[in-house]
Amino acid sequence: MRFQTLYEARWIFAALAALAIASAFVFPWLLLLVLLLTVYVFWFFRDPARVSPADPNAVVAAADGTVADIVEIEEVEVMHALQKRVGIFLSVFDVHTNRAPVEGKIVYRKAHAGLCLDARHADCTTKNRAMTWAFQNQRGTFVVRQLTGMIARRIVGWSKVGDELKKGEHFGMIRFGSRTEVYLPLEAEVLVKVGDRVTGGTTVIARLR
């Protein structure tokens, strides 16, 4: 468990502690529910250790979750070109830290205001609050987009432009259910399919040619 991940829950833990104290004096029966919520929040902000594959041609999942879609689409913010996009849906039961899909230098980071539609909604990729990242290495530039969901309202960026990240290294997180997208060059061979479960930092979602 990384302290940085738990630190993002500090206000939630403070609110639960205050609620637990109030419940003990006013509604003792509510104390059990508060304790259960506290256990869930602690579990939600878990951050298991991961080992990423060393293969420089392997692109790993940027998040834990389920592959929601795989499409060819114009990436209009950084690459301005047709790309393959692998969208990963994160439920409230998934680990929510985000990891670099490739080794490289962060050359772009930008937050976008927006709505908080359900992360499974078709319009969420263009209308929801988001943060876009670009990782650059000798193989090219790889875009990752973090998107909020109906419950997830906060995107956290731990890295900044200029940072050099190893494959699988943390760059941020999204609090509660959300979506993470990885954009790949058209010639990349996608190795997952819609409905597959992936693990951030370890599951190889594509191989570069």
Q: What is the pTM of this model?
A: 0.89
Q: Establish whether 178 is a catalytic residue.
A: yes
Residue 65: which region, alpha, beta or left (left: phi > 0; alpha: psi -120 to 50)?
A: left
Q: Which of 169, 190, 14, 45 is nearest to 106 (CA)?
A: 169
Rounded to whole angstroms, how far apart are CA atoms 189 and 184? Answer: 9
Do residues 128 and 149 make contact, with C-beta atoms less than 8 angstroms apart? yes
Token pair recorded at residue 4: 């940085």
The residue extents of the domains of the chain are: 3-44, 58-207
pLDDT, average across residues 68-79: 97
Token pair recorded at residue 137: 């290495």
- The pLDDT confidence band at residue 117, using thresholds 50, 70 and 90, is confident
CATH superfamily of 58-207: Glucose Permease (Domain IIA) (2.70.70.10)
Which is the catalytic residue, given 23, 91, 159, 178? Answer: 178
Residue type, 155: I
pLDDT, average across residues 151-156: 78
Do residues 66 and 195 make contact, with C-beta atoms less than 8 angstroms apart? yes
